[in-house]
Amino acid sequence: MAKPKGTIIPGSQKVPLEGAEAIAPAPPDERFEVTVRLRPKTPLPAARELLSGAPLPILTHEEYEKKYGSREADFALVRKFAKAHNLAVVRESPARRSAMLSGTVADFNKAFEVNLKTYAHLAGTYRGRVGPVRIPANLAGIVEGVFGLDNRPYAKRHGTLRPEAAAAASDGAVPFTGDQLAKIYNFPAGVDGSGQTIGLIELGGGFRPQDITTYFKGLGLPVPTVIPVSIDGSSNSPSTANSADGEVVLDIEVAGAAAPGAKIVVYFAPNDRTSRGFLDALTKAVHDTQNNVSIVSISWGGPEVVKGNSFQTQFDQVLQAAALLGVTVLVAAGDDGAADIGPKEWDGNAHVDFPSASPFILSCGGTRLLAPQGKITGESVWNQQSADLVNDSFGSGGGGVAASFKLPAYQARAAVPPSLNPKGFKGRGIPDVTGDGDPASGYKVLVDGQNLQFGGTSAVAPLWAALIARINQKLNGRVGFINPQLYALPANSGAFNDITVGNNRTTFKKFTKVGYDAGPGWDAASGLGSPNGTVLSGLLTASKPGLPASAEAPPKAKKK
């Protein structure tokens, strides 16, 4: 190979997956697309400004694109670069700061000075590379990331199917439906999420409309409007209940039952679960002016990676855009305890999940809920580490301390501990909140014609999304980036059911146990707690796009 001439894109370095081996060059005539992320016209506000806790004015989509979208001149340079390297410009979006380029392996190898190969690993094969991505000097600082050259899997779903043969829980734990949990967690009455749109990010799978109709009619609830949106050529593709269909339908049926008036939009990205598909689905949801999404729920993720990784950086910037647009983003904290990695890959350290680690989202943990006759009699941190592994899950809610994101100002009084890992970095603590996630006390769903019982933190994210939809409707606005408001509430506000029992410690045979215990107030196993929705809604403020942050805000309740 000739000596590289281009400028390295920061954070674009790649190494093979653990245990992967290059077995052949990638087929030179294989055609695919990549997403090129461009700089904004104006740098995004400093993270410390957004995370300070000060009220954020909510921008309209037009205001955001005008200030933070990509420049036409930058797109023109990308077009010129693409033409010179036999690449086709498929789509452009100034708001999403994205240009999608199509070409062959041979074309992309030359254009970005990479050497794409076919790699084999335990889970199959992928197209991959080693080293950085390079661009011409005139694009340095303009192009911030190129995604899709490498199609290794990144994210996994955070849902756990309870085996049909599982014995009845000795403590009386039983599953619920979303509408039952809305009552148990005291969601505000008189509102159902009408006027709100919940966006669901899905990396594969699908739903059968007849299942949705049957399920909601069986609950005596209106059948929600569910709109599928195709990302990067993917579509609503249902197959079997033990596939990604379970995740898709779980999200729809939980959100739809707990906020039956909300519109649900499902963004289907390719089922290869790559970083490109994940990123493209999020940018589409956040900047979808047609469906006007107000809440996004994400039940997928992967272990946090080193600071400066271009995918993680760009994904976090889209989450910042969501905050500026008043879109509340909720993310599952993970189902593998404080290890967040399977037993074969575990390195003995604590890890948190990304995008749950981002300070711009509401991270959702999991509990084991006992609520006979609709009243909570017990709630503890979900941890089934001693149970049989299901879907490669340890069966424990994720949580811990981030290694790539500093402690945000809104968590300054939360007593977030240093990381359990050697250097003890004091970063962003997760989860922020929690809710029913244990499969034994999980969710009744109808998937591909089968009545099944699911759990996982992936169910908690859409449950909280439904709560936010009802609160937005009640407040006639958007609570948007809600974290600063939640952490500013007094400890005795009554907005949360404080979880003080249990832990998310993970044990692997000969390895040391690693994890966190629940306790009074915020902790890295249960966050601030599970919701008391009516109380919480009375303590929050909301605003509308294009108006000052306090314009639509009701007065906060006074301490008694």
Structural domain contains residue 550: no
Query: 121, 147, 173: which is the final residue of a domain?
Result: 147
How many other C-beta atoms lie within 10 A of the C-beta of residue 117?
Answer: 18
The single residue of 92, 247, 336, 353 carrying the catalytic annotation is 247
Structural domain contains residue 330: yes
Structural domain contains residue 552: no
Q: Are residues 222 and 320 in the same domain?
A: yes
Q: Which of the residue ranges 41-50, 106-115, 187-196, 474-483 would you say has the lowest mean pLDDT?
A: 41-50
Residue 493 CA to residue 521 CA, distance in Å, equals: 11
The pair of structure tokens assigned to 108 is 């992309």
CA neighbor of 350 nearest in space, from 425, 416, 300: 425
pLDDT band at 158 (very low <50, low <70, confident <90, very high): low
Average pLDDT, the chain: 90
pLDDT of res. 80: 98
441: pLDDT strictly greater than 80:
yes
- Expressed in angstroms, the distance from the first to the final Cα of the chain is 73
Residue 198 CA to residue 263 CA, distance in Å, equals: 6
Q: Are residues 130 and 164 in the same domain?
A: no
Query: 89, 124, 147: which is the final residue of a domain?
Result: 147
Q: Are residues 75 and 196 in the same domain?
A: no
Single-letter code of the amino acid located at 537: S
For every residue of 489-555, DSSP letters joined together read S-TTSSSEE---S-B--B--TTSPPB--B--SSSBTTTBT-EE-HHHHHHH---B-TTS-TTTTPPP
CB-based contact 82:101 (threshold 8 Å): yes
388: pLDDT strictly greater than 50:
no
Q: Are residues 102 and 183 in the same domain?
A: no
CA neighbor of 526 nearest in space, from 397, 418, 411, 438: 397
Structural domain contains residue 410: no
12: pLDDT strictly greater than 60:
yes
Q: Which of the residue ranges 211-215, 382-386, 483-487 would you say has the lowest mean pLDDT?
A: 382-386
Q: Are residues 135 and 204 in the same domain?
A: no
Q: How many domains does the chain have?
A: 2
pLDDT in tens, 444-477: 999 999 999 999 999 999 999 999 999 999 999 9
Structural domain contains residue 391: yes
Q: Are residues 101 and 181 in the same domain?
A: no
Structural domain contains residue 417: no
Structural domain contains residue 412: no
Q: Are residues 45 and 192 in the same domain?
A: no
CB-based contact 183:349 (threshold 8 Å): no
463: domain CATH number? 3.40.50.200
Q: Which residues contact 40 (CB under 8 A, 6 or more apart)?
A: 67, 68, 69, 70, 97
Looking at residues 534-549, what average pLDDT do you find?
86
Query: 117, 147, 177: which is the final residue of a domain?
Result: 147
Does an H or E element contain 153, and which? none
154: pLDDT strictly greater than 90:
no
pLDDT of res. 305: 82
pLDDT of res. 389: 41
The pair of structure tokens assigned to 27 is 């087929």
Q: Which of 56-60, 332-336, 478-482, 507-511 has the highest mean pLDDT?
A: 478-482
The single residue of 107, 192, 251, 316 carrying the catalytic annotation is 251
- Predicted model pTM: 0.93
Q: Which of the residue ranges 172-186, 269-283, 462-476, 519-533 would you say has the lowest mean pLDDT?
A: 269-283
The single residue of 404, 458, 537, 543 carrying the catalytic annotation is 458
Half-sphere exposure for 65 (CA within 13 Å, toward CB):
14
For residue 520, whether the previous peptide bond is cis, meaning omega lies within 30 degrees of 0, is no
Q: Are residues 309 and 395 in the same domain?
A: yes
Q: Which residues contact 83 (CB under 8 A, 6 or more apart)?
A: none
The pair of structure tokens assigned to 37 is 């992320």
Q: Are residues 444 and 369 in the same domain?
A: yes
Q: Which residues contact 368 (CB under 8 A, 6 or more apart)?
A: 173, 378, 379, 380, 381, 382, 383, 436, 437, 438, 440, 441, 502
Structural domain contains residue 557: no
Range of the domain at 210: 156-400+431-488+499-539
Q: Are residues 194 and 80 in the same domain?
A: no
Residue 413 CA to residue 198 CA, distance in Å, equals: 31
Q: Are residues 130 and 213 in the same domain?
A: no
Longest Cα–Cα distance of the chain, Å, equals: 73
How many other C-beta atoms lie within 10 A of the C-beta of residue 288?
Answer: 20
Residue 300 CA to residue 313 CA, distance in Å, equals: 17
CA neighbor of 17 nearest in space, from 205, 274, 268, 299: 274
Strand order in the sheet with 98-104: 88-93, 98-104, 31-38, 143-147
**Opening angle at CA 532, ends 528 and 536, nearest 5:** 80
Q: Is 247 a catalytic residue?
A: yes
Higher pLDDT, 55 or 19: 19
DSSP reduced 3-state for 380: strand
Locate tokens 């069966």: which residue?
395
Q: Is 458 a catalytic residue?
A: yes
Single-letter code of the amino acid located at 246: G
pLDDT of res. 339: 83
**Nearest 10 degrees: CA dihedral of 157, 163, 164, 167?**
-140
554: pLDDT strictly greater than 60:
no
Locate tokens 């040391």: which residue?
512
Q: Is 543 a catalytic residue?
A: no
Q: Are residues 334 and 477 in the same domain?
A: yes
Phi-psi map region of 455: left, alpha, beta (phi>0 left; psi -120 to 50 alpha): beta
For the chain, what percent of residues have pLDDT higher than 90? Answer: 76
